[in-house]
Chain A
Amino acid sequence: MNFLTNLISGLSLGSVYAIIALGYTMVYGISKMLNFAHGDIIMIGGYVSFVLTMYVGMNGWVALLVAMVVCTLLGILIERLAYRPLRGTGSLAVLITAIGVSYFLQNSALLIWGANPRVFPSLFEGINTIHAAGGKLTIAPVSLFTILANILIMIVLTLFVNRTKAGKAMRAVSEDNGAAQLMGINVNQSISLTFAIGSGLAAVAGVLMCSAYPVLMPTTGAMPGIKAFTAAVFGGIGSIPGAMIGGLILGIIEIFSRAYISTELSDAIVFACLIIVLLVKPTGLLGKKVSEKV
């Protein structure tokens, strides 16, 4: 039963990674950039929600909505101010700028909220942990909700990307920026929309993650950000189902290595698995093989 408990917490952690990875994957797909500031948007989402519940006294769920709005706007703003001026200048320049944005967000949070860790009020306070199989199997409500939220987000996002006009436009821009522009698609708008969705989801991931692991610091987002990025690559960067699968697998590997191998080495094991996957499938599990035309 311990195994099942671990599996569920693995799936839950994996779901958080998957939701964050979606932001990475979509942004990468459309603008071919690694948005290293994405992890810090999670942290901002967490802090906004924290402030609203603790100091404004807002309901946790309303606070989540507000955090989503704030992060969405933040995402659009960052893209507009920092990334758009560098569009088309090669991925390295944008990457460094993204790192600059990441430093900026972290240090802003440091100035506003200080370096001390804050205890995050869980969204599910008051809801009891589910015990099953004679107390051997424990399921935290946050785990269950995170997994369900991940599934829901994935379904809605897939429908959005495949069925709606805006979603198709996003795919077109991912495929060929120039051609999409010639077809009358507003590329700027599509990219903004992608950042908006990714950042909004980051807020959700932030609140869910902090509900499960209730420590909030300016650097809270950094490591999950890197791991979610790993998850996105694991599944094949640019692919939405890939992000989900990558996230879930990564979460499970991490929890299981913590439980059965070593707490200190769990990160090393996660990253080693990534390297092995890339050795076998150089573009990730669901990534498309891109061949250069000669």
Chain B
Amino acid sequence: MADDKKYVETTDTGHGYENRQDIYYNDNVGGRAVFVDAKEHDQESVTETILQERDKDRSPILEVKGLGIDFGGLTAVDDFSIAIGRREIAGLIGPNGAGKTTIFNMLTKVYEPTRGDIIFNGKSTKGMSTVDINRAGMARTFQNIRLFDKLTVEENIKTALHHTTDYGLIDGMLHTPKYRREEERIHKEAMKYLKIFGMTKTADYRAGSLPYGAQRRLEIMRALATKPRLLLLDEPAAGMNPSETAELMDTIREIRDRFEIAILLIEHDMSLVMNICEGIAVLNYGRTIAKGGPAEIQSNPKVIEAYLGKSRGKMNEEEEEEEKDIEAAYKIGTVASKVAPKPDEGHDRKEEK
């Protein structure tokens, strides 16, 4: 299968990831504001270095320079800069209220940025609307899941396939042969997505009535169905238990490889971020305090101080506590969402633990 081939290829090039990150992110380590770096250094030569290592096409999918937004005098985000390669998985972390979701909202033009440039796929997104952004190839999920609750799972995906569905209003009103042909085609396509995500059985259920985990999957699927080049995931692991999170990590990697896209994610679950993100930006009070690969971030004193705790030792303790919290949350979560695992599923979980 063609898919398989691509998959192998990308993983092969993937071996160079760590080197690449060193080259790319080295400049920004040490807690200096990236904005300053971007001005001081020749940004283009940096990107070039990465992309030669990484992708055949040279420009990064997303370049953000000096992005900032004020809400009535309050600066929510300032001087945010980032560049994301065409097949990169990048992470955006930071304490609550640091401005991570605000950055997503600026990227997708839910908010219009006060300052800065966003270059997406080589084009400035200035003046584009949320709709234009999606058409240009950026899709996202939301922190608090936003599905079309009253539509079925299949309809949710078909709605996302909207732009590739080729018939007009009259066809829609009269159900012409053209309508039938196209509907048949997008039904098959929607089912393909459902199959990939193991949700074939849910096709006819109302999206709003699905268990939590399935809703998250559907939201990712719906975003993917718009055929994006860059996928923004806002806390994809929120409310998941450790084994689900582990599964999600694999999924995110495989989405990247199978669909050959870049992914930028916001996440509080450090295990997920440190495991799958190749580049990480840390945000605090709307400012970037650090950038780098997982190892650098973990050892960055500023990050540790601002985000993870005050000393290295303490950080580990807190991580452990966090782990416990997650487990507790999982217990509550399973009761609430009534995800009763099938016997074989339960078996899998035990093995993983």
A and B touch in the complex (CB under 8 A): yes
Interface residues of A (CB under 8 A from B): 294
Q: Does B105 contact A (CB under 8 A)?
A: yes
Closest A residue to B102 by CB, please name it. A294
Distance between Cα atoms of A182 and B142 in the complex (Å)? 28
Distance between Cα atoms of A294 and B101 in the complex (Å)? 8
Distance between Cα atoms of A294 and B145 in the complex (Å)? 10
Q: Mark B151-195, 1 if CB is under 8 A from A, else 0.
A: 000000000000000000000000000000000000000000000
The A contact surface, by secondary structure, is loop
Distance between Cα atoms of A236 and B20 in the complex (Å)? 56
Residues of A within 8 A of B23 (CB): none
Q: Does B332 contact A (CB under 8 A)?
A: no
Distance between Cα atoms of A294 and B111 in the complex (Å)? 10
Q: Does B8 contact A (CB under 8 A)?
A: no
Residues of B within 8 A of A294 (CB): 101, 105, 110, 142
Residues of A within 8 A of B142 (CB): 294
Closest A residue to B110 by CB, please name it. A294
List 4 A–B pairs whose Cβ atoms lie within 8 Å, in order of A's numbering: A294-B101, A294-B105, A294-B110, A294-B142
Closest A residue to B143 by CB, please name it. A294
Residues of A within 8 A of B101 (CB): 294
Minimum-distance CB pairs A-B, first 4: A294-B110, A294-B105, A294-B142, A294-B101
Distance between Cα atoms of A57 and B201 in the complex (Å)? 77
Distance between Cα atoms of A237 and B241 in the complex (Å)? 46
Closest A residue to B71 by CB, please name it. A291
Q: Mark B101-118, 1 if CB is under 8 A from A, else 0.
A: 100010000100000000
CB of A289 to closest CB in B, whole Å: 12
CB of A292 to closest CB in B, whole Å: 9
CB of A167 to closest CB in B, whole Å: 26
Distance between Cα atoms of A120 and B177 in the complex (Å)? 67
Residues of A within 8 A of B105 (CB): 294
Distance between Cα atoms of A294 and B106 in the complex (Å)? 11
Closest A residue to B108 by CB, please name it. A294
Q: Mark B226-252, 1 if CB is under 8 A from A, else 0.
A: 000000000000000000000000000
